[in-house]
């Protein structure tokens, strides 16, 4: 007869497999999908006279246009969120309550421990290690890799620049997954903080990965990179560290430089999912700092319609698509229409 511990492990494994395969829709998202879609289109229409000429200026002078795009996107998202609350209130109590809960949930001034420059180095390394194990538990990196494959070349190597890569979690995992699947990827993991780049480099050496290079790079300014130098530009699990306007700038910059396409992925905002992930980090690792950071992250995440707004307010917005992806992520992708055929 199975022991209680064995039954618990079996139940946890089955729950994990189900969650990874199907995900858990964010509470209230189904109620608000149509409302958010309506608010998105209304907001884009309201800002069209400002967005269209700005997008043109961005094409020939991105450095000068970046501050304007950032400010415009910040204003647009604020108005879209206000429109969601207004339209939800017109559609009954359930939608009004969902919109109010979301409005309360995202209103946070909290900061993640991982962003604190005063954090002891060994604590930072511990949090990042547990974060990697959490991603492995949810099979997140494999899900990100599946979303990357449609943008890759069918033959020959695909060059990838991973922005705001932190300690290189996804970049290193993608390199391993590519090798396992016979794909040729040449990945550059970049971050604005040299200490993160060095952590990623050391981890790659320990894992024997030779198809990953590293660079110190500002994700908001890619003017030092020649257009087409990289086939695909990615950013995973970092968007919530940036303001709405900064995400719009980063997406526009990535589209300007990428030869084939852009892939941004982050978590989807939601209170119940946050409680689950924060609780699991305590259960699996007894890591209070990671649990705290999970709660803060889930309050700062975007939802797909918001990411679509930030993409469409700038240049190349017509190529953008945003959607929810299991187990609980927002994906913002763009396929460059002028890219060469594989």
The confidence score (pLDDT) of residue 25 equals: 55
Is the pLDDT assigned to residue 342 strictly greater than 50?
no
Average pLDDT of the chain to the nearest whole number: 90
For 113-335, CATH gives 3.40.50.150
Is the pLDDT assigned to residue 21 strictly greater than 70?
no
| 3-state secondary structure (DSSP) of residue 314 | coil
Query: Which residue has better confidence, 68 or 327?
Result: 68
Rounded to 5 degrees, what are φ and ψ at 31? -65, -30
DSSP letters spanning 211-244: SEEEEE--TT--TTS-TTSSSEEEEES-GGGS-H
Distance CA 189, CA 39 (A): 36
The confidence score (pLDDT) of residue 271 equals: 79
The confidence score (pLDDT) of residue 336 equals: 80
CA angle 221, 174, 336 (to 5 degrees): 50
Structure tokens at 73: 């996107």
Is the pLDDT assigned to residue 148 strictly greater than 80?
yes
Contact yes or no for 283/18 (Cβ under 8 A): no
Mean pLDDT of 263-279: 88
Is the pLDDT assigned to residue 6 strictly greater than 70?
no
Band of residue 26 on the pLDDT scale cut at 50, 70, 90: low
Q: Provide the strand spans (E) within 223-302.
A: 232-236, 261-267
**CA 99 → CA 35, 85, 243, 244, distances in Å?**
9, 5, 21, 19
The confidence score (pLDDT) of residue 339 equals: 44
Q: Which tens digit of pLDDT belongs to each residue from 238-260?
A: 999 999 999 999 999 999 999 99
Domain boundaries, the chain: 113-335
Is the pLDDT assigned to residue 224 strictly greater than 70?
yes
Per cent of the chain over pLDDT 70 is 90
Q: Which tens digit of pLDDT belongs to each residue from 130-145?
A: 999 999 988 999 999 9
Is the pLDDT assigned to residue 341 strictly greater than 50?
no
Contact yes or no for 142/222 (Cβ under 8 A): no
Lowest-confidence region among 6-15, 195-204, 272-281, 284-293: 6-15
Q: How many CB atoms lie within 10 A of CB 120?
A: 9
């Amino acid at each position: 007869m199975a022991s209680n511990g064995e039954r618990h492990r079996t139940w946890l494994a089955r729950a994990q497999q189900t969650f990874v395969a199907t995900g858990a829709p964010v509470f209230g998202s189904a109620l608000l999908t149509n409302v958010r879609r309506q608010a998105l289109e209304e907001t884009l229409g309201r800002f069209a006279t400002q967005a269209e000429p700005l997008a043109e200026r961005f094409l020939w002078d991105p450095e000068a246009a970046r501050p304007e795009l950032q400010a415009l996107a910040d204003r647009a998202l604020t108005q879209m969120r206000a429109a969601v609350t207004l339209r939800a209130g017109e559609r009954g109590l359930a939608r009004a309550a969902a919109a109010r809960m979301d409005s309360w949930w995202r209103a946070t001034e909290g900061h993640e421990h991982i962003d604190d420059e005063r954090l002891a180095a060994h604590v930072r390394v511990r949090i990042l290690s547990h974060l990697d194990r959490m991603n492995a538990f949810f099979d997140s990196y494999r899900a990100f890799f599946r979303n990357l494959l449609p943008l890759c070349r069918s033959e020959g190597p695909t060059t990838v620049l991973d922005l705001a890569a932190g300690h290189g979690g996804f970049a290193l995992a993608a390199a391993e997954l590519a090798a396992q699947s016979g794909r040729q990827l040449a990945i550059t993991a970049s971050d604005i903080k040299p200490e993160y780049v060095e952590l990623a480099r050391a981890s790659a050496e320990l894992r024997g990965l030779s198809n990953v290079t590293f660079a110190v790079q500002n994700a908001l300014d890619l003017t030092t990179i020649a257009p087409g130098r990289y086939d695909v530009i990615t950013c995973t699990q970092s968007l919530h560290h940036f303001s709405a306007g900064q995400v719009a700038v980063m997406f526009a910059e990535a589209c300007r430089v990428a030869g084939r396409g852009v892939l941004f992925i982050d978590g989807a905002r939601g209170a119940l999912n946050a409680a689950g992930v924060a609780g699991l980090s305590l259960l699996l690792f007894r890591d209070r700092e990671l649990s705290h950071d999970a709660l803060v992250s889930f309050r700062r995440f975007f939802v797909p319609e918001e990411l679509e707004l930030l993409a469409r307010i700038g240049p190349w917005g017509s190529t953008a698509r945003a959607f929810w992806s299991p187990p609980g992520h927002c994906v913002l992708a763009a396929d460059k229409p002028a890219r060469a055929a594989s």
